[in-house]
Structures are given as C-alpha cells and as structure tokens.
Structure 1
Amino acid sequence: MPEPVAEPALNGLRLNLRIVSIVMFNFASYLTIGLPLAVLPGYVHDVMGFSAFWAGLVISLQYFATLLSRPHAGRYADSLGPKKIVVFGLCGCFLSGLGYLTAGLTASLPVISLLLLCLGRVILGIGQSFAGTGSTLWGVGVVGSLHIGRVISWNGIVTYGAMAMGAPLGVVFYHWGGFQALALIIMGVALVAILLAIPRPTVKASKGKPLPFRAVLGSVWLYGMALALASAGFGVIATFITLFYDAKGWDGAAFALTLFSCAFVGTRLLFPNGINRIGGLNVAMICFSVEIIGLLLVGVATMPWMAKIGVLLAGAGFSLVFPALGVVAVKAVPQQNQGAALATYTVFMDLSLGVTGPLAGLVMSWAGVPVIYLAAAGLVAIALLLTWRLKKRPPEHVPEAASSS
C-alpha cells in the first residue's frame, strides 16, 4: 500500500472529486474492455468463421489473464508505487487495441488474425488487473486509508458505468466504421488516459519488506471466502436471469438486470460512509441478509413483481459486500503489503464468478432454474455465518514485516 500524503481532512464533494480524479483511470481501462465485448463473439464466429468455442475462448482469455496477474499487480503496486502500475496497465489496454487493429488488417489470414486477437485479449487482461488494482491504491494514497471503503466503492461504480456504456457504444462504432475503427477508438481511450495519468503527482511506494504471498493469503482468505460465497448470488442473476424469465414465460428480464445495476450503484452512492460508521463486518452482515432475502424471493417467485423486488434487493445487498470486507481484509496485513492483500482478496471474486456459471448450469439442468437462486441464497447464508464468526473472534495482532535497511 502506498504511503498517504499528509493533508487536511477531506470530506463531502471535495473528497469524492479527489477520488474520481484517480478512479477515472480504472473507468478508462474498463471502457476498453466494454467497447469490444458485444462485438468480438460475433466477429470471431460470423465474420472470421471460427466455431463458438473459439469465440468464447477469445472472451475468456482476458478474464484468465486478469485472474493470474492480479496478485502480481498488488505486489508491484506496493513496491513501485501505484501510479507506475496504472500507467503500465493502461499501456496494456492500448496494446490490446493495437492487437485488434493488426488482427483486422490480417483478416485474410484467419489463423494469424485469431492469434493476434487472443494476444490482445491476454494483454488486456493483464493491463486491467494492473490499472484496476493500481487505481484503487493510488486513490487510497491520495485521500488516506480512512477512506479506503469509499475508494473501493467508487471503483465499483466506474466499473459498472464503463461496462454499461462500453458495450452499446462498441456496437455503434463497429457498425459505423468496422472492426479497425473500433480498435482505433480503444487505442484512443487508453492513450488519452495515459496522457492524463503521467502528469499527476505520485504517492510514495511502501518502504517495508513485503510479506511472502503465503502469509498474505493466510491473512485474507477467510474474507475472500465470504466474498466468493456472496458473489454466487451476483453470478446467477447476471448469467441466468434471462433463462429464469423464459422458463416462467415472463417478459422483462432486461429490466430486471437494470434494476439490479441501479440498486447496486444506488446503494453505494446512498451509503458512502456506512463502512466507516458501523464497521466493515457489520455492513457485510447486513448486506448478506438483504441479499439472501432477495435471492429467496427470486427463487420462490410466482409473479414477475416478486422476482423484480428480489433482484432489486439482491443488487442492493451485494453492492457493499466487496468494499465492506475489503476494508477489513487489507487491514489484516502491514501497510506495505496492503496492495498485495487487496489484489489477493479480489482474486476470490474472480474465481467465484468463473466457476458459478458452469456449476449453476449443472444444478439448473438437474433441478430447474429457480433452484439455483435458492442454492445461491444458501451460499450467502454461509458467508453470513462466516462473517459473524470473524466478528466474534478476538482481534489479531497485525505482524509487521521487517523494514528495509
């Protein structure tokens, strides 16, 4: 974790503007993800002529690269400083656009073009993990660790905003100028972000000796497990709510997803100080309870309004889980290791979202669509019990890593 600069206390609008001025770089990185997201599967399958497997692989490569590189992003942010990591990540986003551009230019050589697309997706995954982790730590370094929960919350808001904006805009740009024009726009977004980031003042990197990864993992894994269990609720709604509505013979699945997103973002905006006021674990337990009620309502819904209320509650409940547990998780390690702790903690959500889809699909094929929402509610209930146990256990002394000479 970078060392925060000593400044007068920030609050209100000034604090939010200071945070947004940093997390906008994460917005840019996610915009480069969102822009090609709705275009690439059809481009690989329909235009390039490859199977649905390859279309899916091109998309998935980015997520695997993010998952594998995220712990490294945290460690480098601790040792080199978050600004350098953000700029490095944005350079990766720029290079991913260059990969798309060269793939479009070599369209007459389908195998070469596909390899370039895959390379671009891998570079994008690495770039996003560095830009996302670095922007969070940069924001904390600017406003102070007291506001880490708010920094994480704003990062989530800009992530949702960038993905929501990027996908439809990407389709518009693709139909307007083709795949190469879309690639140039992605490169332009990343380049503008790089040029804005370079002149920004840095925050100091940590001076202490980092803990080994095993020690960091041992300190945060229980919080990560609670996050992973709670993320199952988000995963089944995002992935299967359309099939749920189809199975019921209802219309309005897209509106249900909109309700989830509005509840998610709205809750973060309405309760920016909740974590500081009552504590991360208390907020997490309240959120788990709300998410459980929402998932149960979806699972037993006999009318569309029941499902919509359930989705709304699930979105509101899941909204503050990540920052609430994250605040506690990063404080479980010395300051010079908190970047690695945040990155390791985030990996649990990445893994959860990666396995929820296929596992829930197996359950759905065996027992029907509604059952997956009841099962997800059960997993969130386990997260609630785990968090309650974490709250009841005596506070642990945070080990200090040896300082560098």
Structure 2
Amino acid sequence: MTEQRWAPTFAGLVAALLCTFTAVGMVIPIIPKLVTDELDGSAFEVGVTFTVSGVVALLVRPYAGQLAQRTGCRRVMLFGAVLVVATAGLYALPLGLAGLYAARVLLGVGEAMLFMAGSLWTVSLAPQDRRAQIVGFYGLAMWSGFALGPVLGELVHRAGSFEAVWVAVAVLPAVAFCVILGLTDRVERGAAVSRKLLPRSAVLPGVSLACGSFGYAMVAGFAALAMTDRGVAHGSVVVSAFGAAYVTVRVVAGRIPDRVGALPVVVFSASVEAVGMVLIAFANDLWLAALGALIAGGGFTLLYPALALITIDAAPAAERGAALGAVTSFFDVAIGLAGLIGGALAEVSYTLAFLLAAGAVLGSLYAGTAAARGAPARDPAAA
C-alpha cells in the first residue's frame, strides 16, 4: 500500500487516539477531588477508582483484539468511543461512589476496545519495513494524551466546574468517533480467529515489556519522593526528563527497529534504561537524577515498538489480535506490581527500590533476546 493511501488513515487513527486518551487523562487530577471533596471518600477509594479501570482494560484487551479481527477494526473502535462518551455521562450523574466505579468499568472496556482495534488497524496499514516506527507513533499518541489530559483537566476545572470537565470529557471522544466514522477500513475480517487469550507468541515479549516497564513505573511513582527524601527540591523535573526523552527518541529514532532489527534494539534499550535507573538510585543532586531519567526514558521508549515487531512476526494471523492485546496487558500488570513492590521497598530505601528496578529492566534484556531469537526471520518482500 502506497504512503498516499495509508498515511491519511493512519493520521486519523492517531488523531482519534489522541482525543480519546486526552479525555481519559483529563480526569486524573479531578477524580481525587471528586472522591474526597464531593463524595466523602478516602484516599483508598481514590486508589480503587483508578485501579478498577486499569484491571478491566487489562482483562478486555485480548478479547478486544479478537473482536476486531472478527468484526472489523473500525466497528470496534467506534463502539469503544461510544463507551468513553457514555463514561462522561456517568461521571455527571449523582450516583455516588458506586456510579463512579461503574463509570470506570465502562471506561476500561471502551479504552481497551479503541486502543486494541486501532493497533491492529495500524499494523495492517504500515509497510513492513516501517511497522515498528508506525506502531511506535500510534502508541505515542496515547502517551501524549495522558500527558496533555491532566493539564487540560486542571485548567477546565479551575475555569469552570466538575460539570465543565465532564462536558469536555464527552466532547473529545465524540470528536474521535466522527474521525473514525470518516475512515475506510480495508482490514480483512471474518477470518478464523484463535480463542487463545494468551498466545505463546506474546509470553516472552510480554515478560520483556513488563520488566522494562518497572523502570518507568518507579520513576513515575517514586522519583520525586526520592529526591525529597534526599533533600533535593523540584524532584518532579526527574519525571519530566524521563517523559521528554521518551517522546523525543520515539519521534527521532522510531524507525531504528525496522532498520537494524528488533534484537539489537531490545539489547540496547534495556541496557541503557538499566544504566539510567542506577544513576537515579545513587543520585544526590537533581542534575544527576535528571540525567539518569533522560537516559532511562530514551532507552525505554523503543522497547515497545521492538517487542511489538517480534510479536507480529511470531504470531499466526489468527492470533495476532489476542497477542498484541496480551503483550500490552503485561504493561498494566507490571505497573501494578511495581507500585506495590516499589512502595514496600521505598519504606526501607529509595536506593534499593531503584536498584531493584534496574535489575528488573535487565530481565527485559534476557526475555526480549529469547523472544527475538525464537521469532521467525522477517521477509522484507512480504506484504
């Protein structure tokens, strides 16, 4: 497929994903206020609220991938966008904590369906020699939405009210729905689809992604706290440095896995991320910690495109939807485990917590290497 044919469709998918996940991100700073100020809830109930959507998305992703293969990516994405719009309506209704939990369940289903169907659509569009780059750009749209959404949500809330936020959270996925509606889905559908929710082709890439994600989770959850504990101000700069490197390297070097192969990228990415985590573990000033975060973020960012490439090459066509969904689900599992384990270790020593993350990241190197060596050789002439 020529670039003139696939590029506009891919741009539409990126725009739809960005709109949807900006809406998802908008409620991140708002829900704690809603739970504690309006619903008389506790900090624990705030945590439950966020956990609910993550767990549901984790469970639904493999099913969503299978459904997209059976019925069409466009149809599944449209339904996912409708569910995210409906989530905003539930936020607005005076149903208490039970209604909020129901909204988060609906959100988990909607975002899983939209993201996974879009992933399969993206894979089908991308030329084989650019698959890692295009899949990486697609994922970057989600992360950009998560980064932009909280800032936008805080601004809308300050300028208006909770209701103003709910309106914005409904409008954005509605825009995504309209964008998707205008796209033409030429992805083959209706073929035999495996019922496996954890295909063998997803296990090692998923384990590798989970190990690499420990570093991201540790920086996001504990870097600022570690700096404060060491008497260093402005610890949030460390988190920002990780994010800046993540985005910059993905944009500038996103085609490297396609050009040199997935295996060298996995080895390099995991090694570099581990070095960054060690620097943060022992950093007693902001600049060294920020340098470590830049190195770690730059390493981590190409890990997912490389592992997605391995999974696509290894998975039979009938398992591809479930395989991509399962690999992405390993990320969610890792974030949850890293939060629990990292929190427990941080009570003893932040240095120990970040060193554990560095060790976990090296586990990504071994699992990813095994996955790459077990995948079939790529045929550049294949469609």
Name the amino acid aligned to 1:185: A
AA in 1 matched with 2:108? G
- CA 174–391 in structure 1, closer or farther in 2 if over 3 Å, else same: closer
Q: CA deviation at 1:302?
A: 3.0
Over the matched positions of the two proteins, sequence identity in percent amounts to 26
Structure 1 position 164 matched with structure 2 position 155: no
Alignment of 1:152-231 (within 5 A): 152-213=135-196, 216-231=198-213
- Is contact 2:131–2:258 with CA below 8 Å preserved after alignment? no
Partner SS for 1:213: coil
CA distance, structure 1, for counterparts of residue 377 and residue 125 of structure 2: 28
In structure 2, the residue matched to 1:19 is 10
Q: CA separation in 2, counterparts of 1:193 and 1:229?
A: 32
- For the residues of structure 1 that align with 2:375 and 2:270, how far apart are their CA atoms? 22
Residues 330, 395 of structure 1: CA spacing in aligned structure 2 closer, same or farther, 3 A cutoff? closer
Q: Secondary structure of 2:314's partner?
A: coil
Residues 387 and 114 (structure 1), Cα distance of their counterparts in 2 relative to 1, 3 Å cut: closer
Question: Which of 324, 329, 354 is equivalent to 1:373?
Answer: 354
How far apart, in 2, do the equivalents of 1:219 and 1:139 lie? 19
RMSD of Structure 2 on Structure 1 (CA): 2.0
Give the letter for the 2:226 counterpart. Answer: F
Q: Kindly indicate whether the alpha-carbon contact (under 8 Å) linking 1:288 and 1:381 is maintained by their aligned counterparts in 2.
A: yes
Q: Which residue of 1 aligns with 2:381?
A: none
C-alpha distance 47-207 of structure 1, shift in aligned 2 (>3 A): closer
Find the counterpart in structure 1 of residue 55 from structure 2.
64
Letter in 1 for 2:149: G
Offset of residue 247 of structure 1: 1.1
Compute the TM-score of the two structures, normalised by the length of structure 2: 0.93
- Is 1:306 the counterpart of 2:288? The answer is yes
Contact 1:292–1:314 (8 Å) recurs in 2 = yes
Amino acid at match of 1:378: G
Q: Counterparts of 1:394 and 1:177 in 2: how far apart (Å)?
A: 53
The counterpart of 1:88, out of the listed 57, 60, 79, is: 79
Aligned partners of 2:10, 2:26: CA distance in 1, in Å? 24
Aligned equivalents of 1:204, 1:18: Cα separation in 2: 12
Residues 3-402 of structure 1 aligned to structure 2 (within 5 Å)? 7-8=1-2, 10=3, 18-102=9-93, 106=94, 112-213=95-196, 216-366=198-348, 368-393=349-374, 395=376
Q: C-alpha offsets along residues 189-230 of structure 1, whole Å, 9 cap, x if unaligned?
A: 11121122112111233443222316x522220111111111
Report the secondary structure of 2:170's partner residue: helix
Indicate conservation of the 8 Å contact 1:20/1:154, yes or no: no
Q: Which runs of 5+ in 2 are unaligned?
A: 379-383
| Shift of residue 358, structure 1, vs aligned partner | 0.8
SS of 1:37's equivalent in the other structure is coil
Distance change in 2, residues 1:364/1:97 (3 Å): same
Equivalent-residue separation in structure 1 for 2:40 and 2:190 (angstroms): 52
Please list the CA deviations of residues 332-360 of structure 1 after superposition, one character each: whole Å capped at 9, or x if unmatched.
11223212110011111110011110111
How far has the Cα of 1:15 moved from its partner? 6.8
Q: What's the offset of the Cα at 1:392? A: 4.5
- TM-score normalised according to structure 1 size: 0.88
Bigger-Rg structure (1/2): 1
Cα pair distance change 1:138/1:279, threshold 3 Å: same
Gaps of 5+ in 1: 1-6, 107-111, 398-405
Look up the SS of the partner of 1:75 in the other structure.
helix
